[in-house]
Amino acid sequence: MSAQDKQKFQVKTVCQVGVVVKDLDQVVKDWTENFGFGPWSFLEMPHMRYAAVFVGPIEFELVQPVEGEPQGDAGKSIIDFLNKWGDGVHHIAFMVDDVQAEASKLIANGVKLLAQGGSEWAYFLSGGPGSTIFELMRRASYDLIKEKGLHGFLEAKLKERQAK
């Protein structure tokens, strides 16, 4: 595919830095005490624990795998990262209005899709030197997380699904 044939994807807003950790409680404690991060929002899922804090417009999302098999490609990606690299930055997220439309552009351009959560998010591997996992996050989801925290976001998504 020539450069002229590629569909244009343009990063506009970085909204999240995802960090995989072995001990979520310790990292929250350290970041709060050492850097003044807070207030935190927490979410417990069957195979993952999450903590999030906003620093200005950027959400720092801490993810700690817990016992059991990871769910889906995203869970596997997190476990694999932790086993290979240990604690560290897992992904950088960009806010988009339409995850599926933007994901289609990247896929058409040959960018590797790692995992996708419907219309909410998608993980891509940037490829080449400096390869990084980039996430596309739906703007409405980001806004809901910022307004209601992780638990409030999950509750809203569950209500939305039940209404369908």
The domain locations on the chain are: 14-163
Q: In whole angstroms, what is the distance from residue 120 CA to residue 136 CA?
A: 8
Q: Provide the pLDDT for residue 74.
A: 72
Domain over 14-163 is classified CATH 3.30.950.10:
no
State the pLDDT at residue 127. 81
DSSP per position, 61-91: EEEEE-SSPPPHHHHHHHHHHHHHH-SEEEE
Tokens of 17: 């830095």
Mean pLDDT by 10 residues, the chain (164 residues): 65 92 97 97 89 94 83 76 91 93 92 89 86 90 84 78 76
Dihedral angle computed from the Cα positions of residues 113, 116, 118 and 121, in that order, rounded to the nearest 10 degrees: -100
Whole-angstrom Cα distance, residue 21 to residue 9?
30
Q: What is the structure's pLDDT at 68?
A: 65
Q: In the chain, where does DSSP find H-type helix?
A: 24-35, 72-85, 99-108, 139-163
